[in-house]
Amino acid sequence: MAIDQLSVFVENKQGKLVEVLEALGQAGIDLRALSIADTADYGVLRVIVDRPVDALKVLTDLGFAVRINQVLPVSVDDAPGALGNTLRVLSDAGIFVEYLYAFVAHGEDRAFVILRVADNEGAEKVLRGRGIAIASKEEIYK
Amino acid sequence: MASYYEQKWETMSRDEMRAHQDKLLAEQVRHVYANVAYYRDLMDGKGVKPGDIHGVDDLKLLPFISKDDLREAYPYGMLAVPLSDTVRVQSTSGTTGKRVVAFYTQEDIDLWDRCCARAIVAAGGSNKDVVHVSYGYGLFTGGPGLNGGSHLVGSLTLPMSSGNTERQIQFMTDLQSTILCCTPSYAAFLAETIHEMGLRGKIKLKAGIFGAEAWSEEMRRHIEQRLGIRAYDIYGLTEISGPGVSFECEEQTGMHVNEDHFIPEIINPITGEVLPDGEKGELVFTSISKKAFPLLRYRTRDICVLSRKACSCGRTLVKMAKPMGRSDDMLIIRGVNVFPSQIETVLINCGFEANYQLVVDRVNYSDTLEVRVELTPEMFSDEVRKLEMREREVVDKLKSMLGIAAKVTLVQPKSITRSEGKAVRVIDNRGGKL
Ligand SMILES: [Zn+2]
């Protein structure tokens, strides 16, 4: 099942990223994963948090451009070649991955890979068909 | 059916208007020559005597007055009546150099108020309206001008002045303001705030009279749609009187000049040659009825076009197009003349709002232009590729429509300072750089 990802427009200005992270921290929102796509002038911060709707409100109130969209959390063995295999499966099925980032699960030999694809359901079906597990919300937020 | 504040003057035949102008102009030149040494010297320098000016056809013989002349003559050099006859001073904001002070007799104030009353009636105003004046009061002419006009029309006048947006909106909802007068950028800001506060349904505005800064047709449509009103343009300058030198009617295709008081000309800004109606050039005004501070052939630095095409509203007053920008605002970037309003049009066509800032600089002997524009929350995407496409679209359009290469920078929503008076849109860092 796809899960919510929060993305935030962050200008490349001193203190902007800190402002976002502190605001989330003060609201007691737990950050599970984070990635930043950078350009010369701004970055797009993407985070997986436990309370995405609350986080959206906190940041919108501060004047940030924020958006929630669905991403696919794939669960892979924390072992060499596992991620490559996953991407190969998608590539063979003609599914274009816009971006991805990974994080390791707490105290387990598994890693989660967050995939941004146009069609989450289609990608999920393909991956499951090849025995690749999709992480549940519970696993992610554990 | 159109209504008028002074039907006689607003719908007068061209012949009658011309006869009126001829008579007043000849008198005004005699008055100025006799009482303003500064202008007498300019006329003498050109070898022109008051007796040479019989009417509008002779206007071209007179010397121009520029803003520099006003600075030179500051403060009393252009005063044409004894100080004891004057009752009011208004002043320009002085953003570019020394400020200009203009003097008024009571009659000068009265005619200015009547000009503003014409604008309010043309925007649909009557004694049943509540006119909400959010222009600044004080030395700035915006507030006092519309205030005076509104009194003449008999509307209930709310002298709000600028600033304190929440109070503005509270009065607007509690007292049911119907006509809003302010700068277009403040109107856009008010509209935004009203929507944020969820008060759109409590607003009874039907029209707005917006001026004192350059704005585009796109911005007009945006404000009209956000507030559910008709937005009318008004033009004026302190040097000539204040707002109401010209005003828009329901046709919204240019502003009727109050020609019984102010004669407009369009000149080639470089040679000073008078251009025929329909040609683009610098707007020049001659004040023919004001007594205390009567400027002859004052160069406004506004670039615009005059049109005498018949107007459906029935007014016979010549129309001036919305100025393309003051030549003070005009940026010359690598030799290309660019007005901020043109860039604004491109931004709005690309789906942005009119919240932007232009930063001009010089790097390696060459001008650079950066357009900083606020990203709207709706436009934001988690995919950098899509954001870059937005930027590229603006860059391409600026290149193809204006012929200029610019860097476009997306900035956070609401991060560009909103001013409650005039918008500061241009930051020019070139000063003195090679
Ligand atoms: Zn008209």
Nearest chain B Cα distance for residue A35, angstroms: 11
With a CB cutoff of 8 Å and minimum separation 6, the contacts of B378 are none
Structure tokens at B163: 């600033």
- Residue B1 has a pLDDT of 61
* A29 closest CA partner among A47, A8, A7, A51: A51
Q: Do A104 and A82 reside in the same domain of the chain?
A: yes
Calculate how far, in angstroms, residue B143's C-alpha sits from the geometric centre of ligand 1: 24
Same-domain check for residues A66 and A101:
no
In angstroms and rounded to an integer, the radius of gyration of the C-alpha atoms of chain A is 16
List CB contacts (< 8 A) between A11 and chain B.
Answer: 411-412, 415
Residues with Cβ within 8 Å of A127's Cβ and at least 6 positions away in sequence, in order, are: A72, A74, A86, A89, A90, A134
CATH at residue A93: 3.30.2130.10
| Residues A83, A126 share a domain | yes
**Interatomic CA distance for residues B69 and B71, integer angstroms:** 5
The pLDDT value recorded for residue A110 is 83
Q: What is the pLDDT of residue B40?
A: 98
Quick one: pLDDT at residue B364?
A: 85
Nearest to B117 by CA among B88, B90, B146, B141: B146
Q: What percent of chain A shows pLDDT beyond 70?
A: 99
Q: Does residue A63 share a domain with residue A10?
A: yes
Whether residues A21 and A8 fall in one domain:
yes
Total of domains in chain A: 2
Q: Ligand 1 centroid vs B279 CA: distance in angstroms?
A: 20
Do residues B382 and A7 touch, judged by C-beta distance below 8 A? Answer: yes
B256 Cα to the center of ligand 1, angstroms: 7
pTM for the complete prediction?
A: 0.66
> What's chain A's length in residues?
142
Question: Do A45 and A28 reside in the same domain of the chain?
Answer: yes
pLDDT on residue B420:
52
Tell me whether residues B385 and A41 touch, CB distance under 8 A: no
Q: What is the pLDDT of residue A83?
A: 87
Same structural domain, A30 and A90: no
Q: Which residue has the higher pLDDT, A35 or B336?
A: A35
- Mark whether A60 and A32 lie in a shared domain: yes
* Full residue range of the structural domain in which residue A51 is found: 3-70
Same domain, A65 and A92: no
> How far A122 CA sits from the closest chain B CA (Å)?
20
> Same domain for A9 and A61?
yes
Please indicate if any CB of chain B lies within 8 Å of the CB of A70: no
Taking the CB of residue B364, how many other CB atoms lie within 10 A of it? 6
Going from the Cα of A128 to the center of ligand 1, the distance in angstroms, rounded, reads: 70
Q: Nearest by CB to B413, from A5, A65, A69: name it.
A: A65
DSSP string, B260-300: TTEEEEEE-TTT-PBPPTT--EEEEEEESS-SSS--SSEEE
Q: Does B387 touch chain A (CB under 8 A)?
A: yes
Q: How far is A73 from chain B (nearest CA, A)?
A: 16
pLDDT at B425: 81
Residues of chain B by 3-state class (helix, strand, coil), percent to 5: 35, 25, 45
Grouped pLDDT means (10 residues each) for chain B, 434 residues: 91 97 98 98 97 97 94 94 98 71 97 98 98 95 97 98 94 98 94 94 97 86 96 96 97 97 92 89 96 97 92 97 74 80 87 90 90 92 93 94 90 77 73 68
Q: CA A90 to CA B106: how far, in whole Å?
A: 82
Which pLDDT score is estimated for B340? 83
Tell me whether residues B375 and A98 touch, CB distance under 8 A: no
For residue B386, which residues of chain A lie inside 8 Å, CB to CB?
none
Give B139 Cα–ligand 1 centroid separation in angstroms.
30
Q: Span A98-125, mean pLDDT?
A: 89
Quick check: B358 contacting A, CB < 8 Å?
no
Which of A36, A70, A104 is the last residue before a domain boundary?
A70
B375 has a chain A CB within 8 A of its CB: yes
The phi, psi pair for B162, rounded to 5°, reads -90, 165
Q: Which of A15, A49, A70 is the last residue of a domain?
A: A70
Contacts of B410 in chain A (CB under 8 A): 9, 41-42
List the domains of chain B with CATH numbers: 1-326 (3.40.50.12780), 331-428 (3.30.300.30)
- Cβ contact, residue pair A37, B384, below 8 Å: yes
% residues pLDDT > 90 (chain B): 75
Same domain assignment for residues A81 and A124 = yes
A28 and A52 assigned to the same domain? yes
Residue at a domain's end among A70, A98, A125:
A70
**H or E segment at B346?**
helix B340-349
* Residue B69 to chain A, least CA–CA distance (Å): 45
Measure the CA–CA gap between A64 and A16, rounded to whole angstroms.
10
pLDDT (tens digit per residue) in A44-78 = 999 999 999 999 999 999 999 999 999 999 998 87
Residue A34 has pLDDT above 90, yes or no: yes
Q: Cα Rg for chain B, rounded, in angstroms?
A: 22
- The answer to whether the CB of B234 falls within 8 A of the CB of B213 is no
Peptide bond preceding B75 in cis form (omega within 30 of 0): yes
Contact: A65, B411; criterion CB under 8 Å:
no
